[in-house]
Amino acid sequence: QSVLTQPPSVSAAPGQKVTISCSGSSSNIGNNYVSWYQQVPGKAPKLLIYDNNNRPSGIPDRFSGSKSGTSATLGITGLQTGDEADYYCGTWDSSLSVGVFGGGTKLTVL
């Protein structure tokens, strides 16, 4: 059972938009920065979004992040088959002094 809650899977057609939610509490998402990671099976995770809504260099602006209260959202527009991967949200839990991740969301581009 992950501290952060994500939907197990989402799907959409190429060219469409999808959002992935990440729900937490005041001790984690509510008072800390959220980041998002993309993981292709068999590979290491890759940073996608940091500090709630910032993209590292090289990440296309099709990827966006937002945070409101104790929830965060990853948005992906103009879906491509290459976007098929597992997506994880992550943050710090200040009450527990531990890192926390969501359970991951598998994106399928139909």
Using CB under 8 A, list all residues that contact other proteins.
2, 31-33, 35, 37, 39, 44-47, 50-51, 56, 86, 88, 90-92, 94, 97-104
| Of residues 77 and 101, the one with the C-beta less far from other proteins | 101
In the complex with other proteins, the residue whose CB is nearer, 16 or 54, is: 54
* Amino acid identity, position 49: I
Shortest Å distance, C-beta 69 to other proteins: 16
Query: Which residue, 16 or 55, is less far from other proteins as judged by CB?
Result: 55
Per DSSP, the three-state class of 83 is: helix
Q: How far is the CB of 10 from other proteins (least distance, A)?
A: 15
Sequence-separated (6 or more) residues with CB below 8 Å from residue 88: 6, 36, 37, 39, 45, 101, 102, 104, 105
State the residue for tokens 């959220």. 34
Q: Which two tokens stand for residue 27?
A: 């001790």
